[in-house]
Amino acid sequence: MPEYPVKLPSKAPVQIQAVDWLTAPAKTVFDRYIASSLALWGVSSSHQGTCVLIPEDWKGLDPMDLEAMFDLENCPTAQSTRLRYHYSDQFTSFVRAKAWFQQWPRSGLQLDNFLGTGPFKPMDASHTCHQNCCIAYIAYEPTNTNHDRKACCELAARLRQEGKPIPEHCETHNPPCLLQHAALTTQEAYAIQFDVLRRARGIAPKSIDRPRRHRFSSFKSQLPCRFSAIKVEPADLVLERPAPTNPDKPRLLCIFCKRLKNLQTISGLWGHIVHKHDGIDVEDRLREIRRTARLWRRYWDENVDGGKGGSATVKRLEEVEKDDFNWGTVLSWKLR
């Protein structure tokens, strides 16, 4: 049995970090979370035909709200930050969490390897569809295998560029790379995702013209398309729109970002405005901080039962309402 230091949580170093990830409740919570995430996008957990891409910037947003706002100009890029997942004392990417929970049960040694401790072969969560923010097609495999899959993505793009037939799967990896999914551009994958959502919600399809800088001769935005593996079975559509978990909570969308970006906390939004948009006029940024402060204050007054009275955020909300509120006040908050 190898001996090595174990990883301890920083806040309460009394047991191994993420030990709760070995328990049945952790598995149940994750399974419910992914099922509800997919249902919001109109598909069930058994769906295997199209990608479901959720970047971190879209976390907490209702897909139907996104459907009304989405266009190719604000579409996430292939480099968009992946969705994050948190359970107990462990934060990681959603796809890595899915890779962990889709093979069950797990052992303590596997947990050490998952945390990056011990003399084990490094493991990664791989997208077999080669779409960076997809939460549907994930494999847990050695890092070198993950890197080796890049050749299949390049093959899929090359075959499409040359107008040649693209197989559904590669013959190199197990599980195989989904070559037809990999042949889609990021914009096409999102456009098809919204097409599936409209089908599930009974909304008329939208036609999207081929973008000027699209690298292929055709632009795939609706089903059915020429790629046989990219489809949705009627039985896998979730026709009833799930109720939002917190319908009264204001959306914290940054109005200054070109692409749709939702922040998870009001202080996070303000910090983003301070540090990421220093080219925007100060008065415009102050105006947006005042506007979102009013929204957040109203939400707290109506939904939070006195439990936030002494928090830093409440104090900031109070400062925003003062007559002498200015940019110096914002900088004094030392937002991250």
Instruction: List, for residues 232-265, the tens digit of each pLDDT value.
Output: 999 999 999 998 778 788 999 999 999 999 999 9
Q: Is the pLDDT of residue 307 over 60?
A: no
Measured between alpha carbons, how far is 115 from 82 in angstroms, rounded to an integer?
Answer: 18
Partner residues linked to 87 by β-bridges? 90
Q: Average pLDDT in the 8-16 region?
A: 87
**Interacting residues of 232 by C-beta distance below 8 A, sequence separation 6+:** 43, 47, 49, 50, 196, 199, 223
Q: What's the pLDDT at 163? A: 96
Question: 147-205, pLDDT tens digit by residue?
Answer: 999 999 999 999 999 999 999 999 999 999 999 999 999 999 999 999 999 999 999 99
Measured between alpha carbons, how far is 215 from 161 in angstroms, rounded to an integer?
Answer: 8
Six token digits for residue 166 = 């693209």
Contact 260, 253 (CB under 8 A): yes
Q: Is the pLDDT of residue 310 over 70?
A: no
Place of tokens 């890779």: 99
The band of 288, judged by pLDDT with boundaries at 50, 70 and 90, is: very high
Kindly report which listed range (9-13, 303-307, 312-316, 321-325) carries the lowest average pLDDT score: 303-307
Q: Average pLDDT in the 26-51 region?
A: 97
Contact 54, 135 (CB under 8 A): yes
The band of 306, judged by pLDDT with boundaries at 50, 70 and 90, is: low
Measured between alpha carbons, how far is 32 from 229 in angstroms, rounded to an integer?
Answer: 27
Q: Average pLDDT in the 206-231 region?
A: 94
Q: Average pLDDT in the 280-292 region?
A: 98
Count the alpha carbons within 13 Å of 322 in the hemisphere toward its beta carbon.
11
CA R_g for the chain: 22
Kindly report which listed range (4-18, 52-66, 89-103, 200-214) carries the lowest average pLDDT score: 4-18
* Residues constituting the chain: 336
The band of 3, judged by pLDDT with boundaries at 50, 70 and 90, is: confident
Measured between alpha carbons, how far is 137 from 175 in angstroms, rounded to an integer?
Answer: 10
Q: Can you give the residue ranges of every domain in the chain?
A: 19-236, 266-332
Place of tokens 């948009």: 277
Six token digits for residue 291 = 């506007």
Measured between alpha carbons, how far is 87 from 99 in angstroms, rounded to an integer?
Answer: 15
Measured between alpha carbons, how far is 26 from 119 in angstroms, rounded to an integer?
Answer: 26
Q: What's the pLDDT at 136? A: 96
Six token digits for residue 184 = 């889609």
Q: What's the pLDDT at 308? A: 59
The band of 270, judged by pLDDT with boundaries at 50, 70 and 90, is: very high
Q: Return the amino acid letter for 291.
A: R
Give the 3-state DSSP-derived string for 243-296, with helices as H, strands as E and coil as C.
CCCCCCCCCCECCCCCCCCECCCHHHHHHHHHHHCCCCCHHHHHHHHHHHHHHH
User: What is the share, in percent, of the chain residues with pLDDT greater than 70?
Assistant: 98
Measured between alpha carbons, how far is 20 from 5 in angstroms, rounded to an integer?
Answer: 19
Is the peptide bond preceding residue 13 cis, with omega within 30 degrees of 0? no
Measured between alpha carbons, how far is 227 from 168 in angstroms, rounded to an integer?
Answer: 8
Question: 115-162, pLDDT tens digit by residue?
Answer: 999 899 999 999 999 999 999 999 999 999 999 999 999 999 999 999
Query: Mean pLDDT in the chain?
Result: 94
Q: Which DSSP helix (H) or strand (E) runs through 126?
A: strand 123-127
